[in-house]
Amino acid sequence: MGPRTIELNISGMTCAACARHVEHALKGIRGVSKAAVDYPQGIARIWAQTALNPRAINAALPEPYRAVEAISATGAPRAPSPCSPLEDMETARPLRVAIIGSGGAAMAAALQAADRGAQVTLIERGLIGGTCVNVGCVPSKIFIRAAHVAHLRSASPFDQGVSATAPVIDRTRLLAQQQARVDELRHAKYEGILASKSNIQVIRGQAQFADAHNLKVHLENGGEQTLAFDHCLIATGASPAIPLIPGLKDTPYWTSTSALASDIIPPRLVVIGSSVVAVELAQAFARLGSQVTVLARSSLFFREDPAIGQAIRAAFEHEGLTVLEYTQASAIARVDGEFLLGTSAGELRADRLLEATGRSPNTRELNLEAAGVARNPNGAIMVDDHMRTSAAHIYAAGDCTDQPQFVYVAAAAGTRAAINMTGGDAALDLGTMPAVVFTDPQVATVGLSEASAQRRGIATVSRTLTLDNVPRALVNFDARGFVKIVAEMDSGRLLGVQAVAAEAGEIIQSAALALRAGMTVQDLADQLFPYLTMVEGLKLCAQTFSKDVTQLSCCAG
């Protein structure tokens, strides 16, 4: 069977250039072998190997262009109907998109796909909203902020002039405040929005693939439902990874989820792990009154520039945390209300134990083999830059994939997956992805470290500026940390930035934009930065490539 020919009336074109834009968009639709647009007649002709969904055609067209009418399909003319919408041009059903999960990736995809005309079915087995709003980003940052306020009230660089008083911590009330905000955001940003969308259906239950085009859903209230789809997005997130330490599973250990939901600030807390979650919660619990010991299998932040781990370890130890690097637990027991840990550094005792060694993708119960979806050895679904899996019509996004586990990456991936599932063409570029760890001082990175650049065979030059050279840090009486810039040796092109600072997360996006723009060190040094801001540290660090900044006046350009 040869290609189908479809003729469309196109509205919104005002010139020949418009016709070229429309033609380019139509050629990008999956299944279209050729497209031609006649501007004077306002007609587009499409040659396609398969039937095209009308909504997918319009979804592929940029504003203000719209396909308003089919004149013919496979040579059969139709009576004109100038005011008919695209849905009237044939009786084809809407594109059916199934989404497994309801977190950041799933919600972004559901809203984008629905806006592009698809009929979306979202399947969720637990709380709507997934990890970030319920048990991850939102509650953890509330907890960390409360700990930061407690720390400032008990100790600050201004204690000689502003008296400090150790605060009384009421964890029960803090927890109630934390949960109220979580519930509020879940309803406002997830449940309420889903309820307002007529072409998004929510099914509560556990989904797994029956085959490549059907899901079997074990419903929350009993029974089973089969759901057919044209495209599917897997966005099932990840869960705390539990190491195989003898005795651990027989104890009431905490994960990050249970730690954040607890109304207890334990007198003694051992944290196993040096993940982002581990270091953030370790410091927060210490600031709220726990005596904290961190067990790190390697050094802190061992994948980053070594100076980062050294700076955070120094900050932790200054606050009274004990950091045991290159130390693992060999056995764990619960005896007389205490945790007993056997380690290479000797026996440790604690009232509570937080296990935070990382997160594993939630993919085991999906029966991915039935759909031909491949995983890597860690169980993560492998995707390309369009979020396609090894099954061309099935996509994946978020923490269940082999992409970085950040909610903003998940949301961006979900949006692009939805565009691609509905006929568009959108890739996700992670080359300038910023990352922030919410310790104090914060850790923020973007691009390549010196070591990672050199592993790629790139000759580098770098400079590190300690914060005692940044006026804002000096007036804050908090010069902990540094800004480091890594550049290409010959061109001076920016390759990466690493920062440890009280507000490193507010600095790093400027660095990300500079990398995205392909700026050089000199370009950055020549930019105007507002005086007495932490981000001015970027400019000062860039200036150190060509001058001695200690010999400049405070706001020298």
The span from the CA of 92 to the CA of 218, in Å, is 29
Catalytic (active site) residue 387: no
Coil, helix or strand for 153? helix
Give, in order, the Cα–Cα distances in Å from 37 to each of 15, 51, 73, 399: 12, 19, 16, 42
* DSSP of 250-276: GS--B-HHHHHH-----SEEEEE--SH
User: Phi-psi category of 167—alpha, beta or left, where left has phi over 0 and alpha has psi -120 to 50?
Assistant: beta
Active-site residue flag, 18: yes
The question of whether 15 is a catalytic residue gets the answer yes
- Taken in order 123, 128, 132, 136, the sign of the CA dihedral is negative
3-state secondary structure string across 26-82:
HHCCCCEEEEEEECCCCEEEEEECCCCCHHHHHHHCCCCCEEEEEEEECCEECCCCC
The C-alpha angle 126, 127, 129, rounded to 5 degrees, equals: 125
Round to whole Å and give the CA distance between 303 and 306: 8
Judged on CB neighbours under 10 Å (0-12, 13-18, 19+), 337 is: exposed
Q: How far, in Å, CA of 553 to CA of 555, rounded? A: 6
Is 232 one of the annotated active-site residues of the chain?
A: no
Catalytic residue among 39, 83, 137, 387: 137
What H or E segment, with its residue span, contains residue 23?
helix 16-27
SS3 of 247, please?
coil
Crossing angle for the helix pair 276-287 and 306-318, to the nearest 10 degrees = 20
Alpha-carbon radius of gyration of the chain:
28
Q: Is 132 a catalytic residue?
A: yes
What's the number of CA atoms in the CB half-sphere (13 Å) around residue 121?
Answer: 22
Active site residue 541: no
Got the DSSP string for 347-393?
EEEESEEEE-S-EEES-GGG-GGGGT--B-TTSPBP--TT-B-SSTT
- Which amino acid is residue 155, in one-letter code? A
Set 89, 107, 132, 421: catalytic member: 132
From 39, 65, 190, 395, active-site residue: 65
Query: Would residue 137 show up in a list of annotated catalytic residues for this protein?
Result: yes
Q: Which residues are catalytic?
A: 13, 15, 18, 65, 132, 137, 554-555
